[in-house]
Structure 1
Amino acid sequence: MNQIRRTSNLAIVSLVCGVLGWTLAPFLGSIIAVITGHMARAEIRRSAGTLDGDGLAVAGLVLGWLAVGLTLVGIFIVFAFLGGLAWLAALNS
């Protein structure tokens, strides 16, 4: 007899927040997507086959980590640019 597998709510939250991290709530959505994605994958592993949604959780994790990584790279570029401007200003004074 086939057992009905339901989708993990945390996996759904992870995917939705991962998309929100790229649209309406850039940093907060990404952080929530990463946290709930890891929680969902752990929940799915512990469920002994009764929960589904690992792909949703992985998609949320990928979207979340990409947004966090690009945000950090962007912050680094801004500081490097501003540091270069400060260095040029110090040379010219």
Structure 2
Amino acid sequence: MVEKTPTNSNSVISLTLGVLSILIPYIGLILGVIGVVFSRKATKEILKTNQGGGGLATSGLICSVVGIIIQIFAVMGIIAFYSLTNLG
């Protein structure tokens, strides 16, 4: 029988927050930053304890960074829109 290593819970949390950071407007920026923190924490724990979930932590990091970038562009677009409409 093959022993199954437990999946790191922080890696699951980071992936969940990463996906939510892409889907939820405005709050997604905060969720993305928290997702990056959980992903880095999960990666360090996985290396130390030899748990599973390394792919989940990496996916969570990527989704969180993509969510942060999308949210920053959305906020910049809103700022640009309102600054241009107040010129006239």
Decide: shared fold, TM above 0.5: yes
- Runs of 4+ in structure 1 deviating by more than 6 angstroms, as ranges, are none
Instruction: Give, as a single letter, the amino acid of the residue that structure 1 aligns with 2:47.
Output: R
Q: Matched residue of 1:6: which SS?
A: coil
Whose strand proportion is higher, 1 or 2?
A: 1
Q: What percentage of residue pairs aligned between the two structures are identical? A: 22
Considering only CA atoms, is the larger Rg found in Structure 1 or Structure 2? 1
Return 5+ residue gaps in structure 1 as ranges: none
Separation in structure 1 between the aligned mates of residue 74 and residue 21 of structure 2, nearest angstrom: 15
Pair 1:5 & 2:5 matched: yes
TM-score by length of 1: 0.74
1:14-33 alignment, distance < 5 Å: 14-23=14-23, 26-33=28-35
Q: Which residue of 1 aligns with 2:76?
A: 76
TM-score by length of 2: 0.77
Q: Matched residue of 2:86: which SS?
A: helix
Instruction: State the aligned residue count.
Output: 85
Separation in structure 2 between the aligned mates of residue 83 and residue 3 of structure 1, nearest angstrom: 59
Q: Larger RCO: Structure 1 or Structure 2 (Cα < 8 Å, ≥ 6 residues apart)?
A: 2
Q: 2:41 aligns with which of 30, 39, 42?
A: 39
- The superposition leaves residues 51-86 of structure 1 with CA deviations (integer Å, 9 ceiling, x where unpaired) of 121110011111111111111111111112222222
Q: Give RMSD over aligned pairs.
A: 2.1
